[in-house]
Amino acid sequence: MHYADIIAALTKAAYSQTKIAADCGVTGQAVYQVIRSKNNSSPIARRISEVTGIPLKQIWPDGRYNQAA
């Protein structure tokens, strides 16, 4: 999924990158890096998936995150 689609999905869910960062106890930059696939973080990715209702496999189809985790 393109990073702009992830951001749009967060917006549709009335969630921001800042709120994801606060939920995960990380910086906004960390969330930015995960959304743009520059860095990996399972907790951030899982939270994005939970908030948007989109499965991890659909957001990151390359399999970098284990859906069962």
Q: Is the pLDDT of residue 31 over 90?
A: yes
The DSSP secondary structure of 13-27, one letter per residue, reads: TT--HHHHHHHHTS-
- Determine the average pLDDT of the residues in 26-34: 97
Is 47 in contact with 31 (CB distance < 8 Å)? Answer: no
* Domain 3-59 belongs in CATH node 3.40.50: no
How buried is 67 (Cβ within 10 angstroms: 0-12 exposed, 13-18 middle, 19+ buried)?
Answer: exposed
Per-residue pLDDT tens digits for 39-54:
999 999 999 999 999 9
Q: Is the pLDDT of residue 69 over 50?
A: no
pTM: 0.90
